[in-house]
Amino acid sequence: LHVLPVRPSQILNITQLHDSLLKLGSKPLVVLPMPSRLIVNSLRNAIARRLHSPRLSHTMAPNKDHKESKFSHLPLSTSGPISCAVTGTALLNTPYLNKGTAFPVDERREFNLTGLLPQSVHSLEQQLHRAYEQYKTRQDDLAKNTFLTSLKEQNEVLYYRLLQEHLPEMFSIVYTPTEGDAIQNFSRLFRRPDGCFLNINDIDRVYHDLAQWGRPEDIDYIVVTDGEEILGIGDQGVGGVLISVAKLVLTTLCAGVHPNRTLPVVLDCGTDNDELLNDDLYLGLRQKRVRGHKYDRFVDEFVKAARRLYPRAYIHFEDFGLTNARRILDRYRPHIPCFNDDVQGTGCVTLAAIMAALHVSKQKLSDLRLVIFGAGSAGVGIADQVRDAIAAERNISKEEAAKHIWLIDKPGLLTTESELSAAQKDFARDSSEWKDKNGSLLEVVKTVKPNVLIGTSTKPKAFTEEIIRAMAEGVERPIILPLSNPTRLHEAVPEDIYKWTDGKALVATGSPFKPVKGPWGEGGKDVEIEVAECNNSVVFPGIGLGSVLSRARLVTDKMLVAAVEGVASLSPALEDQKAPLLPGVDVVRDVSVRVARNVIKAAVKEGVATEEGIPDNDEDLDEWIREQMWHPAYRPLKLVEFSEASREAKGEMKVAGSLAKIGNW
C-alpha cells in the first residue's frame, strides 16, 4: 500500500493526479486532508480504472504533463497555446475559446476583457463545482438536458469537462433516454439553431448551404440523419437534428474528436408523425415524408456536396428509417469513408460482448449458435458483424458462416418463403427444414439449442421464463442479450434472467441496470453480478477517431472486426466472471484509444489509410493518437493579428457564413 499525503492546492489538475497514481504502481492511495468532491470523485475513478481495467496498459495514461510529446508538431496536436485573434465580447461569445471567469489576469488585459468579467479569477475546478451545483437545482431530466445545452453554447471546455467528471450520472441526460425527450420537444424548446438544416424542397441549395460551414480542411466528422427512426421513438422530422448533435457530443466526449471540426446535419424530408404535422409550433417541413426517387436524389446531392466540399470528412449516418438505413450504407460504403451506427455500431458492440462471453464460457466463435429476435436494422446489423467475424476466423464463405444464425421477426423465423428485405435474405433458413414447425421463438430455441440469444424486437417481456429455461437446458452458460431500448421495451430484465438460469447466464443489456444479487456463489452464497451495457459509445467514437486520424478512404470489414477485438480485449469479465462483459463509460476514452489503434493498424494493412507518418509500434501509435485527441482543459491563448490568423483563431469554426465567399474551394 502506497500513501501519498498531499494538499488539494498541490493538485494542479486531474490528469496530473492520475499520472501520479500510475507512477506509484498497482496499489496507490492518496490521502487528502481537505478533499473536494471533485478530487475525491476523480481519485475514485482513477483507482477504479486500475482495479477494474487491468488490461489497460500504462501507455494509455495521459502523458501531457510530464514531457512534451514527440508528436506536438501535428496539425491536430493539443499541446501548447492556442492562437487567438478575437478579443473582448467576441472572445467571450466564442464557446471553444471562452474561459469565462477562468481567464487569468494577463489574458484579461491582453484580450481586452477587463471590465467584462467579475474581478475574481476562478480555476476550472471552481467553475465545475458551480456548474454542478446549478445542474443539481434543475428539477427534472429534461431541464438538466436544457441546462447542459446552454452551457455548451457558452463554454465548451467547461461543458465537456463537467460531463467527463460526472459521466456515469450525466450520460443518460445528454443521450438516451433524455435526449429522446428533447428531440420530441425540439420545436417547443427551440432557442437557437445548432447544425446544418437541409430540406428536400430546396435540393438545389444543398451545396450552397453546406459550403457555408468551412473550407475543405475544416471538417473532419459529419453526422447526418433524416429523422425517421430516432432512438426507438420513431419519426421526429426536423427535430432529428438533435441526434446528430448528441452523437457528435459523444464522439468528442468519448474519443476526443475536436468539437469545432464536426458538423451535425439533418435532411428534412417531411414527417409521417401526425402529432408534429398538427402542431402549430413544428419547425420542419409541414408535409408527409417524401420517398422514392426524389428522396434518393436528395441524399445523393448531400453526399456528393459533402465529399466535394470536405473531402477528408468521415460521414456517420444516424437513425435513418428501416427501409433506407442499410440501403444507403450499402450504396456509399464502397466509395467513401462512412458508417451507420444503427447497423454497424450496434453489431460491433454486441459482437464484442459475445466474444468476451465466449471467452468466459470457454467457447469459440466457431461454436456459435445465435438466435436474434427482431430482424430490423439493428438485428440484421448484428447478424452481419457476427457472420463476417465467423467467416474470417474459420476462413469460410459468408454464406457458410450465416448458417450459424437464425433470425426471427414478427411473422416468425425468417425462411426462404418469408417476405424478405435484401439484407434479410442472406440469413433466411431453408423452408423445407421448418415445414412441420411454427417458427416461433420458443420453437426455434428448443430446436436450435442456441448458446446466444439476442433481442432487438422492442417487444417487452418477449423472453419468457419458459424460453429462458428451455435455452438454459441446452447450454452450460447461456449468453443472453436483451438490447431493445428504452428499458421498458427490454425483452427481459437481468434479475429474471439470472433467476431462471440459476445465475449461469452471461448477460448484457441495451440500457444500464443495477448489479443483481442472488444465491449463485459457492455453496449457495449470495454473490453480486454486474450487468454490462451494450453501449455503442464504447465503439463508434473510436472507429470514427481511427478513421479520421488515418484519413481512411474507406471503412472496411476488417477495420470493424479490429475495433470489436479492441473492445473485447478490455472486458472486465476476462479477469473476474462476476464483472461486466464490456468496459463501462467511465473508462471510455482509454477504450477509444485502443479501438482507434486497432482501426488505424487495420486501415494501414488494408491499404486505405492515406495519412503519412503513422507510427508502426503500439506505444508510439497510442501517443500519436492521444496527442491529437481534444481534451477539455484550458490552454494558454496567444494573441495573433486578425489579418494573418487561421479561421480557428478568428473564432469562425462552425460559424456558418463566416467565409469570404461560397463556392468550390
348 and 404, same domain (yes or no): yes
Domain assignment of residue 387, yes or no? yes
Residues 524, 551 share a domain: no
* Residues 547 and 499 occupy one common structural domain: no
User: What mean pLDDT comes out for the span 452-469?
Assistant: 96
Q: Torsion angle of alpha carbons 348, 219, 147, 133, nearest 10°?
A: 80
One domain, residues 503 and 607? no
Q: Name the least confident of 137-141, 300-304, 410-414, 463-467.
A: 410-414
The grid cell for 16 is: 496530473
**Contact indicator for 21, 46 with CB cutoff of 8 Å:** yes
- pLDDT given at position 12: 42
Instruction: Kindly report the pTM of this predicted structure.
Output: 0.87
H helices present in 449-490, as ranges: 465-474
pLDDT in tens, 39-67: 444 455 445 444 444 344 333 334 444 46
**Would you say residue 543 lies in a domain?**
yes
Establish whether 282 is a catalytic residue: no
Nearest-angstrom CA–CA distance, 420 and 467: 25
The answer to whether residue 245 is domain-embedded is yes
191 burial type by CB count under 10 A (0-12 exposed, 13-18 middle, 19+ buried): exposed
- Specify if 127 maps to a domain: no
The residue ranking higher by pLDDT, 654 or 17, is 654
Q: Which residue has the higher pLDDT, 602 or 366?
A: 602
Give per-residue pLDDT as tens, 505-556: 999 999 889 999 999 988 889 999 999 999 999 999 999 999 999 999 999 9
Cell reading at 561: 472486426
For residue 14, pLDDT beyond 90:
no
Per the structure, the complete domain to which residue 593 belongs is given by 538-627
Q: Are residues 444 and 420 in the same domain?
A: yes
Known binding-site residues equal 318-319, 342, 485, 535
- DSSP string covering 481-531: EE--SSGGG-SS-HHHHHHHTTT--EEEESS----EEES-SGGG--EEEPP
In the predicted structure, residue 436 carries a pLDDT above the cut 90: no
Domain's final residue, options 515, 534, 553: 534
d(CA 537, CA 557): 19
| Catalytic choice (247, 601, 650, 654) | 247
One domain for residues 564 and 611: yes
Query: Do 257 and 361 sit in the same domain of this protein?
Result: no
Same domain for 290 and 363: no
In a domain, 280, yes or no: yes
Last residue of some domain: 534, 557, 586? 534
CATH number of the domain enclosing 413: 3.40.50.720
Looking at the structure, do residues 282 and 380 belong to the same domain, yes or no? no
Residue 55: predicted pLDDT: 42
388 and 527 belong to one structural domain: yes
Q: Out of 135, 159, 160, 175, which one is annotated catalytic?
A: 175
Residue 124 lies in a domain: no
Active site residue 159: no
The per-residue pLDDT of the chain, averaged, comes to: 90
pLDDT of residue 67: 63
Could you give the number of structural domains in the chain? 4
Question: What is the CATH number for 235?
Answer: 3.40.50.10380
Asked whether 655 and 222 are in contact (CB, 8 A), the reply is no
Say if residue 243 is in the same domain as residue 276. yes
Show binding-site residues for a divalent metal cation. 318-319, 342
Query: What is the pLDDT at residue 18?
Result: 53
Q: Is residue 465 part of a domain?
A: yes
Report whether pLDDT(3) > 90.
no
pLDDT of residue 283: 98
Q: What is the pLDDT of residues 279-320, one digit of tens each?
A: 999 999 999 999 999 999 999 999 999 999 999 999 999 999
**DSSP H/E element including 368:** none
| C-alpha distances in Å from residue 74, one per residue of 62, 291, 380, 575, 629 | 17, 44, 40, 37, 11
Please name the residues in contact with 638: beta carbons below 8 A apart, sequence gap of 6 or more.
81, 82, 83, 84
Mean pLDDT of 77-104: 97
Instruction: Indicate the annotated binding residues for (S)-malate.
Output: 485, 535
At 656 the pLDDT is: 84
Q: Are residues 400 and 500 in the same domain?
A: yes
DSSP state of 617: S
Kindly state the cell numbers that stand for 511. Answer: 440500457
For 607, other C-beta atoms within 10 Å of its C-beta total 10
Structural domain includes residue 664: no
Work out the percent of the chain whose per-residue pLDDT is above 90. Answer: 79
* Rg of the chain (C-alpha set): 25
